[in-house]
């Protein structure tokens, strides 16, 4: 069942090029096995909306790479946000191996990309390009 769910999640990332929506059932396994940039947001947070658009652009740009772009709705996934010590919204966190890096900079596309590449090397799968 876990393999099916991970396969379904990967399909969402590759085909739809949208951020992966994580929840209490998928969060731990996803961040434990992958490089994952996560946006913790809520529906009531006005500052979260533009950052979500940046995450959609990042997801499209990095869809064939070794980095998963994901979101967690902290309004509905309170246990995940609590366990990850999320205290404000939007919060951006990069999970890489056993490391967790909180991003505090500007939440523009280029700034977030620089943050990612300053922490990990991006490997792209060019075999799927058209």
pLDDT along the chain (130 residues), means of 10: 62 68 97 97 96 96 94 98 97 96 97 97 67
User: Which residue range forms the structural domain that includes residue 95?
Assistant: 20-120
Query: For residue 130, what pLDDT is reported?
Result: 40
Query: For residue 10, what pLDDT is reported?
Result: 59
The token pair that represents 31 in the structure block: 């961040």
Residue 93 lies in a domain: yes
Residue carrying the six token digits 């379904």: 8
Give the separation between CA 99 and CA 56, rounded to whole angstroms. Answer: 24
Residue 41 bridge partners (DSSP): 73
In this prediction the pTM is: 0.84
Residue 42 lies in a domain: yes
Residue 33 lies in a domain: yes
Query: For residue 125, what pLDDT is reported?
Result: 74
How many domains does the chain contain in total? 1
CATH label of the domain that carries residue 57: 3.40.30.10
């Amino acid at each position: 069942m876990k393999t099916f769910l991970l396969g379904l999640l990967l399909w969402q990332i590759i085909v739809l090029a949208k951020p992966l929506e994580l929840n209490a059932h998928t969060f731990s396994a996803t961040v434990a096995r992958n490089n994952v940039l996560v946006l913790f947001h809520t529906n009531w947070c006005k500052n979260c909306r533009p950052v979500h658009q940046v995450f959609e652009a990042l997801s499209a740009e990095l869809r064939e790479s070794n980095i998963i772009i994901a979101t967690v709705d902290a309004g509905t996934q309170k246990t995940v946000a609590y366990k990850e010590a999320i205290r404000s919204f939007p919060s951006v966190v990069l999970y890489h191996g056993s490391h967790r890096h909180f991003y505090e900079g500007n939440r523009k596309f280029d700034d977030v990309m620089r943050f990612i590449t300053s922490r990990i090397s991006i490997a792209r799968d060019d075999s799927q390009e058209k």
